Chains A and B, each alone.
Chain A
Amino acid sequence: MAWRFIRQLQLHACRPLLMSGGSGRFISTTPIVRITESQVKKDVAIKDKYFDQDIKNKETFLELLEVFKSKNYKTGHIEFIYAALNRMEDYGVEEDLECYKQIIDVMPKGKMMSTNMWLVEFEYFPKHQDCILDVISKMETKRIQPDREMFDLLVSIFGKGASPTKKYLRMMYWLPKLKHVSPWPAPQTRTKDQKEAAVLAVKRMGSVDLESDVTVFYTKDDNLSTEDTWIVSSQSPVQKNLVKYHPENLPMYIDGPHRMHLGRKNVVDYYVLKADMPENRRRRKFRDPDEISYMKIPFFDPPTSDDIIPEFSVHEQRDGIIYAISSMGSSSKECLQSWIRFLQKNGNPKLADATIVFRCGFQEAPSDQLKLPACENEILDENERRQ
């Protein structure tokens, strides 16, 4: 079966990706969007009573499907499937692949199979096909990756060329690909510990410099601190060197808290130690990029002043120089001060004399307890302002 599966994947998967008409938020692999719900609404209501059970869990749900299947009904499959689909949330199985497969399995096998291209083209049993398309679409919205067993199931119901099978194949082509699009996969669920999320976030931000060193400090190691929390800090040797040569007459700033979203479920607050870009930054001379009349060769020729001036690193941005980034368990001023002391001990002696201005709002509550709706409100506010 495996070779057939791969061949099908190659045959159908290269079709262009269709965007669904509604929200542009998800990439949809549905070829044709049809709403059939209204037609079957009434019948669905009848079938809905199947699902009025006292115990609502996965076992009951699967048993209900089993009962329906064992009756070998001639009709009513579509209505039953829609009813099951609507009540999945009640049973807490809306993210369970096994349940989706069992729902599809309700359809009778063999009778609706499109065995030739005409049947495929004219949509043999269109309502049944649409119904299963809706099931698969729901899986897509919930980001549930189908497995190979589903292919056999769909083929045994609708045949190889039918829309649900095609939709399945397209999903199998695109969804695994999108899985690896981001080099920084965010956790899909809320992490057990806020520190875990903070380490991921800081590592991700620090990755602009391959040499970045992400360290976790604990404030109980700092004698001057009364708190007991953690600080995830990232700094690279280049940044340490920048701190070393920071002009003494200029202040440094701690900016924050900035907010970073890790996937849908995690929010991390972070602080940045930075300074304004001094105007007297040395720059290398401009060289005509077409002139080679005297080629100065690296390594063997004596250095000129240009060779000693360091090139602009990724940490020197137009809005300032970034010396370090951190995220911490508590957003208090004391915790930020501990961070600076830790940095000072870890290769930045210059920070002892530097003037550091706190340009940040402190929060009483630790960032563990930040609620997601808070930030969604902010986004809403912004939308309202735009309107």
Chain B
Amino acid sequence: MNKFSCLFGSKYSLRQKFGQKCYSQRYGFAASLVEHLEETELQAKYKPIDRLPVKPPFVKNLFRGKFDTDFLAFPEFMPEARVELLERNAEVVRKLVDDNVDPARIDGKAAVPDELIEKLASLKLFGLMAPRSVGGAEFTHTERARIMEIVGESPSVGVLLFQNETLGHKLIAAHGDDYQKEKLLKSLITGKKYATLCFGEANCGSDATKFETQAVRSGTDWLLHGTKVWVPNADNADLFIVVAKIRLTHETPQNPYYAEEGEEPFTPEDVGFFLVERNAANVRVGPRYDTVGLRGVPMCEVTFDNVVVPDAMVLTDFFRGYDVVKRMFAEDRYAIGSIALATLKRALREAAEYSVQRRVRDVNLYQYEFAQRRLGRMALQAYAIESVIYFTTGIMDMYEGQDCEVENAIAKVFCTEAALAAVNDAMQLMGGQALLEDSSFTRYHRDLRALTLFDHHNDLYRGLIALNSLQYISAAVSETIMAKRNPLFYTMKNFRSTFTMRFMKNDEDDPHLYLRLKDNLHPSLMFLADQLEACVLRFEHAIIKTLSMLGPETVHDQMYLRRIADCASLLYTMTAVLSRASRAYCIGSENADDELVLAETFVRDSHDSFKELVNGLHYGEYYVTDHNFKRLSHRTVESKKYFLPEPYKLNY
């Protein structure tokens, strides 16, 4: 298979296998934001996007040391006409943003002006991926990412669009019935109304299993009761999608400690999605939180005090609620990465301009190597972020119903944190200038900091990356782990698997490179491919070591989960960067030689940090200082303060 052109007619017309319903774009002509364009002429050039059949998930398989080399070809699936149109659409949106969006003003006033929202709605930005039949733009993920990257110049606007779509009408489109879709979708997609998701709670955060908000069955209706916190855009929302525990009866809850005689074990309660109109009785929206970042998105507390919800306004069917919640965590999170990228690109522009203009001791700032390093690092981060976003969207668009939850979670974590680090660099470069109250850099910093926390904490996504992948491989490796944990019962098996060349070389940090990743990339990237391959192989080895050390308890050991998640993120980002650079060099795109430099820098840097992390997994307690951290944290909590005497004090 030719790695550098991925446009193939699919022989199979596989329907979506995974329940993840998204708007089908199988034969949809790319919708035009530019209605007045000579549509017929363009449409004539269009070919339908032919999707390839679904592949096994990429990152999850890395945990077993399986690397699908098809992913080393950067996804390229859009017909030329569609690329051309995307560029034109991007220009239109860019013009709109340049003319109307003033991020500083939105931040200062802590609100997105209404006329801007009307203009966004007129360009169908509220329903970027919704079908045209209901007024959406019917974009692919890649196209959406591009548009979000432009709109994200003001992160508040970007987040508004993101949450209205992914956490709003997309949920209804995926899980609602015909009545709900007909009644609600159109107005949400065209931006006439807002939907918002009420998820987190004060006492349990994002843990849906511990929610205190309840929907109690009464007759044919449901009575919704509870308080949700940090509801985005709650001030303006017309429709609340509330996640609540389903209680079928009025019976008193079971005693969790003591069982009655002959009592069955627990039947845990499921969660459901309830649609509540804003003007329904007994819905109270509290005052908005005065946040530091993302000020344009008002976050509020919403209280439901026995709100009556009719049966027709319940989204999911029962006993699937947790599945929906789990999938929802990582859906389309690349879009948050796009918003971060927009801010970073803007910061990079300003920092570059500044370092040319500013003269320090008769030399321009950019001539100092301190400054060069910072500027270079910013460019590097921007490149990596961009690669990860478009690599992820490309996979999602190219393969029909591809499982990308882990990839999306990685995109969210990596993009927000890398952008934050880069803006930090920029602020150091600017010096005191960046600290001024009206400096745009403080705003970038605040917004990016908020993005790392928006829509669940990044650490939660780290958990998701590690846990979902471990769960995916658990069945396949269970036999190996059982043998490793019981060496005396499986003597020969252990003996044979330990004294092999492959095992021993891997143990010595010199794995035998049998995946041959370098055969799938441009030869000038050969050595980097080898580094990536060594990382992949060591990762698999380390995962087996960790699992055999901790057993089923791995899922509770968050020190290791963090390390696993960070390793997986590095592998994925390295793959994205390498495949992009390789493709760019092969097709000879603009400044492709710079891409090779960027790829080299990124892979070599990542390789070093990867080694540190993977050693922690490989050698476990002998290498890491986790137990010290646990102890120190315990001592701090115990004394509830800094617990050591000042060093000058005498002890007699």
A residues neighboring B (CB under 8 Å): 145-148, 172, 175-176, 179-180, 207, 210, 242, 245, 247, 278, 280-282, 287, 289-305, 307-310
The answer for the CA separation of A287 and B555 in the assembled complex, in Å, is: 14
Candidates A293, A303, A308; contact of B478 at CB < 8 Å:
A293
Q: Are A305 and B265 in contact (CB under 8 A)?
A: yes
**Set of chain A residues within 8 Å of B261, measured between Cβ atoms:** 280
What would 22 A/B residue contacts be, using CB atoms closer than 8 Å? A147-B652, A176-B652, A179-B651, A280-B259, A290-B481, A290-B551, A293-B474, A294-B474, A295-B470, A296-B471, A296-B555, A297-B471, A297-B555, A300-B326, A300-B467, A300-B468, A301-B326, A302-B209, A303-B268, A305-B265, A308-B268, A310-B256
Q: Are A301 and B322 in contact (CB under 8 A)?
A: yes
The chain B residue sitting closest to A309, CB to CB, is B256
**Set of chain B residues within 8 Å of A298, measured between Cβ atoms:** 467, 555-556
The answer for the CA separation of A188 and B433 in the assembled complex, in Å, is: 59
**Set of chain A residues within 8 Å of B478, measured between Cβ atoms:** 291-293
Interface centre among A172, A287, A304, A308 (most CB of B within 10 A): A308
The answer for the CA separation of A311 and B256 in the assembled complex, in Å, is: 10
The answer for the CA separation of A59 and B226 in the assembled complex, in Å, is: 75
**Contact flag A282-B257 (CB < 8 Å), given A294-B474, A301-B322:** yes
The answer for the CA separation of A210 and B637 in the assembled complex, in Å, is: 8
Query: What is the number of residues of chain B that contact chain A, defined by CB distance less than 8 Å?
Result: 45
Candidates B209, B463, B470, B652; contact of A303 at CB < 8 Å:
B209
The answer for the CA separation of A379 and B464 in the assembled complex, in Å, is: 59
CB distance from B409 to the nearest CB of A (A): 11
The answer for the CA separation of A307 and B477 in the assembled complex, in Å, is: 25
The answer for the CA separation of A261 and B560 in the assembled complex, in Å, is: 43
**Set of chain B residues within 8 Å of A296, measured between Cβ atoms:** 471, 555
The chain B residue sitting closest to A293, CB to CB, is B478
The chain A residue sitting closest to B322, CB to CB, is A302
Known: A147-B652, A290-B551, A301-B322. 10 other contacts (CB 8 A): A175-B652, A176-B651, A176-B652, A247-B258, A289-B552, A292-B552, A296-B555, A299-B207, A299-B209, A300-B468
The chain B residue sitting closest to A242, CB to CB, is B257
Interface centre among A148, A300, A305, A308 (most CB of B within 10 A): A300
Q: Are A278 and B258 in contact (CB under 8 A)?
A: yes
**Set of chain A residues within 8 Å of B651, measured between Cβ atoms:** 176, 179-180
Q: Are A280 and B258 in contact (CB under 8 A)?
A: yes
The chain A residue sitting closest to B327, CB to CB, is A300
Candidates A172, A280, A305; contact of B267 at CB < 8 Å:
A305
**Contact flag A302-B268 (CB < 8 Å), given A172-B652, A175-B652, A291-B478:** yes
CB distance from B554 to the nearest CB of A (A): 8
CB distance from B59 to the nearest CB of A (A): 16
Q: Are B257 and A245 in contact (CB under 8 A)?
A: yes
The chain B residue sitting closest to A290, CB to CB, is B485
The answer for the CA separation of A293 and B463 in the assembled complex, in Å, is: 19
Interface residues of B in 455-508 (CB under 8 A from A): 460, 463-464, 467-468, 470-471, 474-475, 477-478, 481-482, 485-486
The chain A residue sitting closest to B478, CB to CB, is A293
CB distance from A213 to the nearest CB of B (A): 13
**Set of chain B residues within 8 Å of A148, measured between Cβ atoms:** 652
Q: Are A295 and B474 in contact (CB under 8 A)?
A: yes
B residues neighboring A (CB under 8 Å): 207, 209, 255-261, 265-268, 270, 321-323, 326, 329, 460, 463-464, 467-468, 470-471, 474-475, 477-478, 481-482, 485-486, 547, 551-556, 637-638, 651-652
CB distance from B212 to the nearest CB of A (A): 14
Candidates B258, B270, B464; contact of A300 at CB < 8 Å:
B464
The answer for the CA separation of A294 and B326 in the assembled complex, in Å, is: 17
**Set of chain B residues within 8 Å of A293, measured between Cβ atoms:** 474-475, 478
Interface centre among A290, A292, A293, A298 (most CB of B within 10 A): A292
* Leading 10 A-B pairs by shortest Cβ distance: A305-B266, A302-B322, A293-B478, A295-B474, A297-B467, A176-B651, A290-B485, A305-B265, A303-B209, A245-B257
Q: Are B486 and A290 in contact (CB under 8 A)?
A: yes
**Contact flag A305-B258 (CB < 8 Å), given A299-B209, A299-B467:** no
Q: Are B552 and A287 in contact (CB under 8 A)?
A: yes
**Set of chain A residues within 8 Å of B322, measured between Cβ atoms:** 301-302
The chain B residue sitting closest to A308, CB to CB, is B266
The answer for the CA separation of A145 and B638 in the assembled complex, in Å, is: 29
The chain A residue sitting closest to B270, CB to CB, is A302
The answer for the CA separation of A309 and B258 in the assembled complex, in Å, is: 9
Q: Are B470 and A297 in contact (CB under 8 A)?
A: yes
**Set of chain A residues within 8 Å of B323, measured between Cβ atoms:** 302
Q: Are B258 and A282 in contact (CB under 8 A)?
A: yes
The answer for the CA separation of A309 and B268 in the assembled complex, in Å, is: 11
CB distance from A255 to the nearest CB of B (A): 21
The answer for the CA separation of A180 and B478 in the assembled complex, in Å, is: 48
**Set of chain A residues within 8 Å of B257, measured between Cβ atoms:** 242, 245, 281-282, 309-310
**Set of chain A residues within 8 Å of B554, measured between Cβ atoms:** 292, 295
Q: Are A289 and B268 in contact (CB under 8 A)?
A: no
Q: Are B555 and A295 in contact (CB under 8 A)?
A: yes
CB distance from B205 to the nearest CB of A (A): 10
The chain B residue sitting closest to A288, CB to CB, is B552
The answer for the CA separation of A99 and B419 in the assembled complex, in Å, is: 69
The answer for the CA separation of A300 and B270 in the assembled complex, in Å, is: 13
**Set of chain B residues within 8 Å of A278, measured between Cβ atoms:** 258
**Set of chain B residues within 8 Å of A297, measured between Cβ atoms:** 467-468, 470-471, 555
The answer for the CA separation of A299 and B466 in the assembled complex, in Å, is: 12
The answer for the CA separation of A27 and B398 in the assembled complex, in Å, is: 76
CB distance from A361 to the nearest CB of B (A): 31
The answer for the CA separation of A145 and B652 in the assembled complex, in Å, is: 6
CB distance from A29 to the nearest CB of B (A): 14
The answer for the CA separation of A300 and B207 in the assembled complex, in Å, is: 8
CB distance from A77 to the nearest CB of B (A): 27
CB distance from B270 to the nearest CB of A (A): 7
The answer for the CA separation of A148 and B651 in the assembled complex, in Å, is: 11
The answer for the CA separation of A146 and B463 in the assembled complex, in Å, is: 55
